[in-house]
A and B are shown apart, each in its own frame.
Chain A
Amino acid sequence: MDYSEKYEVVIGLEVHAQLATESKLFCGDATSFGAAPNTHISPITMGHPGTLPKTNKKAVAYAIKMGMACNCEIEKENYFARKNYFYPDLPKGYQVSQHTTPICKGGYVTIKTAAGARNVQLNRIHLEEDAGKSIHDINPDFTCLDYNRAGVPLIEIVTEPDLFSADEAYQYVTEVRKLVRWIGVCDGNMEEGSLRCDANVSIRLKGETKLGTKVEVKNLNSIRNVKKAIEFEIQRMIALVESGGKVQQQTRSFDASDDTTFAIREKEEANDYRYFAEPDLSPFSLSDELLNDIKNSMPTLPAALLQQYIAEYGLNEYDATQLCLEKETADYFSSLVSHTSNYKAAANWMNGPLRQYMNEHKLSFDSFALAPEKLAGLLKLVEEGQLNFSIASSRILPVMIETGKDAATIATELNLLQVSDSNELETWVNGVIEKMPDKVAEYKKGKKGLIGLFVGEVKKVSKGKADPKLVTSLLEEKLK
């Protein structure tokens, strides 16, 4: 039986994004990934007595940027709070977080699914420090701890329980990842843990307004796994309830080896974090001037850019969407269209031959050496009929990328420019007519579709250099 008619799924997501700062949130230890264990730590990170933390201004600015990108209200009067709990990955015995005054309140992220576009409501975005890393499997007798990550700045982006399928959750995380990368506040690398996601999942009977008991699923280290874990959880809960059981409030972990989840802890008593204002850090107050400066530094966001590409450049939605997947791609396109007015061709080149070349050579637009004006030169030769598209994309483009020479030079060197010289064209056309007397007779009897065959033959003889438009009219003339 299909239970999707009977039950409704409600999901809330918490996404932790590591801010792309050089140093930690409250001290000068480096944040770079992959250093030898316990080398990016200081007495502040370890919470030694007598140390005094200080807030990283850039981390605060990055959190505000994300808030602006998500249409949040920015809290002007902020202070940090201590969240107290004991766990070995937390060197101080508390995590510095924002409890009462999250820096960004409300807001939304727009997602697109098969059902259309919808705004997913956010609860808050707040700043906090990361914990260290526990390693359980390298020593048989002890848990080993690396505090390099402890104190690294994070924003936690918390939705309302406002997602209603695994697919919506997938689209939401995809969109958040795109946004943080677009505005440059996080590299979005889920394998390295720069972007992490926890999912709160519950089910209820359709029509019920009260939320069901939720299960929190952790350890979702890819967007695909977010979707798979939620799908598994939904099936597990429905099966449980249908067989007469009850969903227990618990924390579960995703096992990527078989796409299932397993319980890691039951919540027997409510958490008691005893939050209080962090006495070592001064409160901070955000001026209108600072907020305006940050606002003015924001790039055009992908949704607005997409509309601009459709409205100003006449692109279709698919092409525009492809160009707005990553900021580097969009920047390249914006630069390209400042050198050509053939917007449609520019989009086709970027989404076609260029993307194909980059995929094959594992390149990306942020480190792409071919200057947009050079590519525009190639487009111009094609537009003017001096090169045909397939020769331009298969033979000229790769050489341009590899040598940096301009298109006209390469085309001349390789003898690939189309010939519009009528003497040469006439020789080719006459040759083809002489070679195919039967077909010519058929054509003359009215089988006009054969013109394509003749043009193709001239193309072959000329090795693609004959301008097909001129060839066609010349053939029509001669076969009258």
Chain B
Amino acid sequence: MEITDSVFEQLANLSRLSFSEEEKQHIKSDLQRMVSFIEKLDEVDIADVPPLLFMSNAVNVWREDEVRGSVSNSEALQNAPQHDEAFFQVPKVIKK
């Protein structure tokens, strides 16, 4: 798979990142090398191998429906870059 300009732009958009022209050339070639590295795996025949959905064989790891484990409002907010006494705050997402 070739990392074209349009693939690059789409990935940048999905990641909400923007790059200068110089950065773009650099990252594009990095990405291309990563993709080529992963494509090596295409050589393995996995037609009869079911997809691995989970890293262990565990199935049905359930929780009972019980309330517990919440943190206080101030603990919850303490790592947020921007907040007031009740809410997390982000830049305005709707223009009025």
Contact = CB atoms under 8 A, between A and B. Distances in A.
Same complex for A and B? Answer: yes
A136 B16 contact: no
A119 interface: no
Interface in B12-49: 14, 16
Contact of B89 (A46, A58, A139): A139
B94 A54 contact: no
Q: Counting chain A CB atoms within 10 Å of each CB, which of B58, B59, B88, B90 scores highest?
A: B88
B60 A23 contact: no
A28 B68 contact: yes
Given A86-B16, A136-B96, A283 B66 contact: no
A76 B69 CA distance: 30
Given A282-B54, A284-B62, 19 more contacts: A27-B63, A36-B73, A40-B70, A41-B76, A46-B76, A57-B62, A58-B65, A79-B53, A136-B93, A141-B92, A142-B89, A143-B91, A144-B88, A146-B86, A147-B76, A282-B59, A283-B53, A283-B59, A285-B60
A43 B92 CA distance: 25
Given A42-B69, A282-B59, A284-B60, A142 B76 contact: no
Specify the main secondary structure of chain A where it touches its partner. Answer: loop
Contacts of A283: 53-54, 59
Contacts of B62: 54-57, 60, 284
Contacts of B51: 277
A136 B70 contact: no
B67 interface: yes
Contacts of A87: 93
Interface residues of A, number: 50
A277 B16 CA distance: 23
Interface residues on chain B, size class: 35 or more
Interface string A11-51: 00000000001110011111000001111111110100000
Contacts of B53: 79, 277, 283
18 contacts: A23-B67, A26-B63, A27-B63, A36-B73, A36-B86, A38-B73, A42-B71, A43-B71, A44-B69, A54-B61, A55-B62, A57-B65, A86-B16, A134-B93, A146-B86, A277-B54, A282-B54, A284-B60
Nearest to B74: A38
Contact of A37 (B55, B73, B90, B91): B73
Nearest to A53: B63
A142 B54 contact: no
Contacts of B58: 282
B92 to A, nearest CB: 5
A143 B73 contact: no
B65 A59 contact: yes
A23 B72 CA distance: 16
A44 B96 CA distance: 33
Given A37-B73, A46-B76, A283-B53, A88 B93 contact: yes
A145 B89 contact: yes
A55 B56 CA distance: 16
A135 interface: yes
A287 B92 CA distance: 48
A274 interface: yes
Q: Counting chain A CB atoms within 10 Å of each CB, which of B56, B64, B77 scores highest?
A: B64
A128 B14 CA distance: 22
Q: Counting chain A CB atoms within 10 Å of each CB, which of B64, B84, B87 scores highest?
A: B87
A285 B59 contact: yes
B87 A146 contact: yes
Contacts of B64: 56-58
Contacts of A60: 62
A145 B92 contact: no
